[in-house]
Amino acid sequence: MRKSLLALATGLLLAGSVSAASAADKLKVGFIYLGPIGDLGWTYQHDQGRLALVKELGDKIETTYLENVPEGPDAERSIEQLVRAGNKLIFTTSFGYMDPTLKVAKKYPNVHFEHATGYKRNPNMSTYSARWYQGRYIQGLIAAKMSKSGVLGYIGSFPIPEVVSGINATMLAAQSINPNIKVKIIWANTWFDPGKEADAAKALIDQGADVIMQHTDSPAPMQIASERGKLAFGQDSEMIKFGPKTQLTSILDTWGPYYIERVKAELAGTWKSEDSWGGLDSHMFAMAPYTNMPDEVKKMAEDAQAAIIAGKLHPFKCPIVGQDGKPVECKGGDHLDDGQILGMNFYVKGIDDKLPGK
Amino acid sequence: MQLVLEKRAERSGTIALVSPLIAVGLTIVTMVILFAILGKNPLLALHAYFIAPLTDGYSLQEIAVKATPLVMIAIGLSLCYLANAWNIGAEGQFLIGAVAGSWIAVRTQGTDAGAWVLPAMLVLAAAAGALYALIPAICKVKFGASEILTSLMLVYVADLFLDYLVRGPWRDPHGFNFPTTAEFDPVATVPLLIEGGRLHLGSIIVLLVVAAAAILLGRTIKGFEIRVVGAAPRAARFGGFKADRLIILTFAISGALAGLAGIIEVAGPIGHLQPGISPGYGFTAIIVAFLGRLNPLGILVAGLFLALTFIGGEQAQIAMKIPLDVTKVFQGILLFYVLACDSLILYRFKLVFPNRQVARGAG
């Protein structure tokens, strides 16, 4: 009896190693996720990108992901685990993985890394991100048209440049419609925490905001806005099912095409360290259908989107006046240059809030 | 009729040792069933969880790195719990230690400070952790406030204080507003034991702590006093042992160790101060302390075992696409069985019939 059990055990282990061997011929691609794949926001969209990748190149690659990896001491180990499991191209999908990714990248020069939304690169470490501020600008236009109270509610995650530039783009657009528009900002200090995000939405509505915008990842604020009969913008993914009468539009992260392009390059041996920062024209992100608004507002939004894609409209068009009343230096000719947007660390005039830590 | 738990009279040392092993065995049986239901090969899954991480040097290092703070904190907690002092706030003491030690690192950043920086950080962190733990201890002794509540609540105070510092005064000026200090200078970093690896000096320190605790408990009067005060408070009073003084002492030691663990984690694997430096080490250490039967060597084993489930869980996620949630279920089941086995071995169920007892008493 014991012998047969042992034989069974060996057989099973052998079967396991055989299947591992056949998988070894395929390119292994790894992903590190911040939230659970079911967060219906940021991580969900990255996983949709991964699934699109599998659909396109599934016969040539094998993908693996680690979810719920905190941006702390465990991140470096998780990334290294993927390397040691044989992954040759690894996507680390949150800003906070920047230093851990760089550490592991320096240690394994033959493995390629792709870090989302960061600014540190290495010969084997690319960065990729999207010009979401373009979408925020369109949202700002819509918000100013739709708000009756003239107060917008904004749920921020961390006061990093990406989030600050989103707030500024929103406000510049909104001010172009209604110069007296106000914005209330609450920093949730988290990317994903439905409870905190919901509390923030409630507090903003209690302070008079009637259009809620968020830079956090869960649909909770949308649900609160829906309960209270207010309007809101989704984030990262299509959230209309959480607020069929609430969602105006949503910035949709569409990572699939980028992931497919980079993996194809890896397969062809032409992968290079790059800095990709795609806008609406590059399909790095898209806008969800414009809903719950009058036709003329919808038309305005669509026109703005077309103008941005055509390069005729730049959200950070000069002159821009800072919160301190002084004009901001214009390094990109008639608009701010990419460096200024990537490192944005100031509010524009009219934002009645103090940038944390300033 | 009533169902009560009655303490068994006999209590052998062997059983106390076997109980956690039974619990581990039962956990494995349950996991095999769970893996089978999930459609995963149970043998391969168990291999990924328990065997694979033990077979290469890299994973062994990672287990040691992960176990270091857990064991360090749990040793201190075990002294408290043996003396009947319930420190639940090790997480807060961990954070305060990390903050205090980081203060030196932040202050000396970019200066030509010498090799004194790291030792000073360790000492200051331990002192700060001890002082922070003394708050609930003194409230308990002087005012009779529940140390369970006060120590727990101080965790949130520490957490928010750290948050304030890294978002405000200590924020890296070149960090694009991300809430973190700049990377510590080399003199403020815990040295690695293996070039290119992750194993650091903290793992050696923790072994010294385990040895010191074993000697304290096994060979000194103080250790005897701790155990007597916890096990038989009345006898201890007759023996002239002062329970209050012991609460203060054990809280201070456990706070110091938690603070030390905090700075070692920050100046070691992380390399800078940021929010979220602890994925709940201070709380997980409570589990480690009890899983290790409040015995220093037991705690070392328990800490390594728990670290193994973390690393193994990650490898199972990679190798077999087993979701992270299963690892959490796994840890939960393990604790459930440990507690259940303890209860059933140290106690027995008894049906009590109140009427008959009264009758017997009258007869």
A271 and A217 share a domain? no
Chain B contacts of A343, Cβ < 8 Å? 176
Chain B residue closest in CA terms to A107? B196
B-interface mutation test, from A77, A101, A340, A341, most B Cβ less than 10 A away: A77
Chain A contacts of B179, Cβ < 8 Å? 158, 189
A245 and A261 share a domain? no
C-alpha span between A87 and A79 (Å, rounded) = 10
Q: Which domain holds residue A54?
A: 27-131+255-282
Return the H-helix or E-strand segment holding A64: strand A61-66
Tell me the backbone φ, ψ of residue A89, rounded to 5 degrees: -135, 125
Q: Which domain holds residue B130?
A: 83-303
Domain membership of residue A123 (yes or no) is yes
ipTM metric: 0.74
The number of distinct structural domains making up chain A is 2
Domain membership of residue A323 (yes or no) is yes
A224 and A259 share a domain? no
pLDDT digits (tens, 9 = 90+) for B233-275: 888 888 888 889 999 999 999 999 999 999 999 999 888 999 8
The reported pLDDT for the residue numbered B356 is: 53
Domain membership of residue B113 (yes or no) is yes
Strands of the sheet with A89-92, listed across from one edge: A61-66, A27-32, A89-92, A112-116, A125-130, A275-278
The reported pLDDT for the residue numbered A25 is: 78
Can you tell me whether residue B189 is helix, strand or coil?
A: coil
Write the CB contacts of B142 (distance below 8 Å, at least 6 apart in sequence). Answer: none
CB atoms under 10 Å from CB of B347, counted, come to 13
- Contact in structure between B100 and B128 (CB atoms under 8 Å): yes
Domain membership of residue B276 (yes or no) is yes
A265 and A328 share a domain? no
A90 and A65 share a domain? yes
Domain membership of residue B102 (yes or no) is yes
Chain A interface includes B163 (CB < 8 A):
yes
The reported pLDDT for the residue numbered A24 is: 54
Chain B contacts of A80, Cβ < 8 Å? 58
**Please, which residues bridge with residue B348 across strands?**
B6
Torsion B50-B52-B54-B55 (CA) sign:
positive
Chain A interface includes B177 (CB < 8 A):
yes
The reported pLDDT for the residue numbered B354 is: 66
Domain membership of residue B218 (yes or no) is yes
The reported pLDDT for the residue numbered B9 is: 67
- Contact in structure between B241 and B221 (CB atoms under 8 Å): no
β-strands B2-7, B347-352: how paired?
antiparallel
Chain A interface includes B32 (CB < 8 A):
no
Domain membership of residue A88 (yes or no) is yes
C-alpha span between B201 and B68 (Å, rounded) = 10
Contact B176 A160 (CB under 8 A): yes
Contact A77 B265 (CB under 8 A): no
The reported pLDDT for the residue numbered A314 is: 95
Maximum Cα–Cα distance for chain A, whole Å? 85
A179 and A41 share a domain? no
Domain membership of residue A236 (yes or no) is yes
A143 and A234 share a domain? yes
Spell out the SS3 assignment of A83-104.
Answer: HHCCCCEEEECCHHHHHHHHHH
Domain membership of residue A33 (yes or no) is yes
Distances in whole angstroms, Cα of residue A173 to Cα of each of A139, A170, A215: 8, 5, 17
C-alpha span between B187 and B117 (Å, rounded) = 6
Chain A contacts of B274, Cβ < 8 Å? 72
C-alpha span between A264 and A289 (Å, rounded) = 30
Domain membership of residue B67 (yes or no) is no
pLDDT digits (tens, 9 = 90+) for B167-201: 889 988 887 777 889 989 999 999 999 887 889 99
Tokens encoding A316: 């950070």
The reported pLDDT for the residue numbered B11 is: 62
Chain B residue closest in CA terms to A84? B58
Amino acid at A308: I
pLDDT digits (tens, 9 = 90+) for A133-191: 999 999 999 999 999 999 999 999 988 889 999 999 999 999 999 999 999 999 998 88
Amino acid at B286: I
B-interface mutation test, from A99, A107, A119, most B Cβ less than 10 A away: A99
Rg (CA), chain B: 23
Tokens encoding A46: 């990255």
Domain membership of residue B299 (yes or no) is yes
**Region for residue A130 given its phi and psi (left: phi exceeds 0; alpha: psi -120 to 50; beta: otherwise):** beta
Helix axes A132-146 and A295-309, enclosed angle (nearest 10):
160
Q: What is the DSSP string of A228-293?
A: TT-EEEE-SS--GGG-TTTEEEEEEE--HHHHHHHHHHHHHT-----EEEE-GGGTSEEEPP--SS
Q: Which of A16, A64, A68 sits opposite B324 (nearest CB)?
A: A68
A58 and A114 share a domain? yes
Tokens encoding A165: 């530039």
The reported pLDDT for the residue numbered A15 is: 43
The number of distinct structural domains making up chain B is 1
A202 and A308 share a domain? yes
Tokens encoding B339: 């507690």
Residue B248: CA count within 13 A, CB half-sphere: 7
Domain membership of residue B72 (yes or no) is no
Q: What is the DSSP string of A117-155?
A: T----BTTEEEEEE-HHHHHHHHHHHHHHH-SSSEEEEE
pLDDT along chain A (358 residues), means of 10: 46 43 74 89 93 95 91 86 94 92 94 92 95 96 96 93 94 96 92 93 96 94 96 94 96 94 95 93 92 96 96 93 91 89 90 79
Write the CB contacts of A114 (distance below 8 Å, at least 6 apart in sequence). Answer: A89, A90, A91, A92, A125, A126, A127, A128, A262
User: Residues in chain B with pLDDT < 70?
Assistant: 1, 9-13, 354-363
Domain membership of residue A354 (yes or no) is no
Domain membership of residue A9 (yes or no) is no
A126 and A194 share a domain? no
A75 and A127 share a domain? yes
CATH code (residue A55):
3.40.50.2300
A259 and A182 share a domain? no
Domain membership of residue A74 (yes or no) is yes
C-alpha span between A265 and B3 (Å, rounded) = 69
Contact A343 B315 (CB under 8 A): no
Domain membership of residue B350 (yes or no) is no
Apex CA B16: angle with CA B11 and CA B22, to 5°?
A: 125
